[in-house]
A and B are shown apart, each in its own frame.
Chain A
Amino acid sequence: MSIIGLLITGVFALLFLSAAVAPLESLGWYAGWFGDMEAEDEPRPQTPPSGVDAEASAPAHFLIYLSGIGAIAPNSIPDEEIPFIEGLRQTLPGTYVISDLFPYSVTNMGLTGQRVTARIWRWIEQLRLKNPAAVAAFLVNLRNVFQVATSADLRYGPIYNLGVAREMRHSLIRHGYRLGSGVPVTLLGWSGGGQIALGSGWYLPGMIGAPVRVISLGGVMSDDVGIERVARLWHLWGQDDPLAPLGHWLYPGRWKIFPASSWNRALAAGKIVLVPLGPYTHNGKGNYFDNETTLPGGETHMQYALSKVKQALVEAGLVSPPPG
């Protein structure tokens, strides 16, 4: 075999091997190999400053932002997403926006956390800081894509999504959410985060005793049963985005020929709202976070996406409508 042939075989072998070991993190967590899932401490809520009435100051709505497959750790996400998250905080008064969740791990442990491979990921993180388009940074995407596929897989999804839902619950409590208060929660998942949001939607409503809604921003989603337990799903998608329709092609439950699937029943019941955004791409210029490319109305792609998120939440009665 020639050197090129060996290289190609090696790359494919590594790819297949990486995919095969992808579910082991969540499976091992469930089996108690990596920490005891039953013995995890209940997080302590942040106490409000003295003199502040906790009831009165409590937000009326919580939104958890789930980053795309470029995320390395809860505090290390691609730069382009940061202004969008800030935009959410400014656009949605009365909504507490949480963005400290790493959806590609059942324990919320970032790739640069206490892992055997942490040094490699830290090195890649440094490379990406210098050059966001570095080839090595693609490894982060690849690793996280396999976790998205794990979440969507019928064999592993129930375990993976349980882990992430628990981390969501922990995060909510850390940020002052009172369990049983019934305060609604919305999960906003970008790209692969859309699938994780939908999958976790099976467990989270029961865990917090409140309705959960999902907003997918260019999300790649399967026909996950989570759709049965979320109150509503808005799918915001760009017409020039080749990745957002991937879920439709890859998962038969989303095909029209299976009208009894969870997805199609939810679609028929009006539970899934499809929101076309315009000529958005998934990556690069013209993507969902692009704050320079403008639409015919004069708004940038990011501004318009934010306005559509707000519109959805206003229609659901979760956010106050703009005055006037």
Chain B
Amino acid sequence: MIEYLWSVWRAIRLGLRLQPDVVQLAEAYPHATAVAFGVVVVAGVSLLAGQSVILFLNQVKPRRFVVSLLINGLMLAAGWAVWSAAIWGIGRWLFTETPRFSLVLRLIGLSYAPLAFGFLILMPYLGPFLQRFLYTWSFLIALRAVAYTFHVSFWPALICVGLGWLLLMALTATIGRPVVTVRNRLWRRLTGAPLNASARDMLQQFALDQSAPPASKGDEP
């Protein structure tokens, strides 16, 4: 177990920079898919920890809190598989290179590495800026992963990732609806909060629910 966690940590460090030699490592390392899975689950857990205000607002108890983090890790892993499949399919359709699905899966998994630091989104003031930074970093690594696996430059990689995103949106709105519904129900049951609820909306509503101030006394305007 410790050896596995150590491999995940090394993969996160490798993923942060995604040098070309990582492709060889991802191809040759026997447990690379399991390690990439670990990276994505850690990212999911960490991201929700960073955005856990939603759980605290719903007064989720510690045990449920931990379960929610793990479920988010697994949900992100499911999303990773679908996302990788979309990239792989579109890449094969757009480009001449035909890499194995497992390679695309592993490298896209490494693109989640920056999100392993998602717990830092908790930081007051800087947290929301950091969140955007981590997502951008992750997106750039995904672009690089596509460029390496399909042997293309930046712009074709960007088109591939963009089309992959559009495909996912189309799937979510059509045949993927039942899956999304089940996911949202599971989430609501676990946390008591809608999956897409904005913490700010809830907080603003919460603040508005407090009693209004009395009229000012004295000579105030």
Interface residues of A in 193-228 (CB under 8 A from B): 202-203, 205-207, 209-212, 225
Q: Which residue of A lies closest to B123 (CB)?
A: A19
Given contacts A152-B125, A211-B217, contact A202 B207 (CB under 8 A): yes
Q: How many residues of chain B have a CB within 8 Å of chain A?
A: 38
CB < 8 Å: which of B57, B119, B212 contacts A206?
A: B212
Let me know if A32 and B213 touch, CB within 8 A: no
Given contacts A211-B213, A212-B213, A316-B219, contact A158 B203 (CB under 8 A): yes
| Cα separation A91 to B214 with both chains bound (whole Å) | 28
Q: Is B60 part of the contact surface with A, judged by Cβ < 8 Å? A: yes
Q: Which residue of B lies closest to A250 (CB)?
A: B125
Let me know if B200 and A231 touch, CB within 8 A: no
Let me know if B125 and A153 touch, CB within 8 A: yes
Q: Is B153 part of the contact surface with A, judged by Cβ < 8 Å? A: no
Chain B residues with CB under 8 A of A271: 221
Q: Chain B, 13-41, contact with A by CB distance < 8 Å: what is the 0/1 string?
A: 00000000000000000000000000000
Q: How many residues of chain A have a CB within 8 Å of chain B?
A: 48
CB < 8 Å: which of B56, B122, B203, B214 contacts A28?
A: B56
Q: Is B52 part of the contact surface with A, judged by Cβ < 8 Å? A: yes
| Cα separation A154 to B213 with both chains bound (whole Å) | 21
Q: Is B181 part of the contact surface with A, judged by Cβ < 8 Å? A: no
Let me know if B221 and A152 touch, CB within 8 A: no
| Cα separation A231 to B214 with both chains bound (whole Å) | 10
Q: Chain A, 95-119, contact with B by CB distance < 8 Å: what is the 0/1 string?
A: 0000000000000000000000000
| Cα separation A174 to B189 with both chains bound (whole Å) | 42
Given contacts A27-B52, A156-B124, A250-B125, contact A20 B119 (CB under 8 A): yes
| Cα separation A146 to B57 with both chains bound (whole Å) | 20
Let me know if A33 and B62 touch, CB within 8 A: yes
Chain A nearest CB, measured from B59 CB (Å)? 5
Chain B nearest CB, measured from A99 CB (Å)? 24
Given contacts A19-B123, A206-B213, contact A31 B60 (CB under 8 A): yes
Interface residues of A in 255-290 (CB under 8 A from B): 269-271
Chain A nearest CB, measured from B125 CB (Å)? 5
Q: List A residues at the B interface (Cβ < 8 Å).
A: 16, 19-24, 27-28, 30-33, 146, 149-150, 152-159, 162, 182, 184, 202-203, 205-207, 209-212, 225, 229, 231-232, 250, 269-271, 315-318
Given A206-B210, A229-B213, 6 other A-B residues pairs in contact with their CB atoms under 8 A: A16-B120, A31-B59, A202-B207, A202-B210, A206-B214, A211-B215
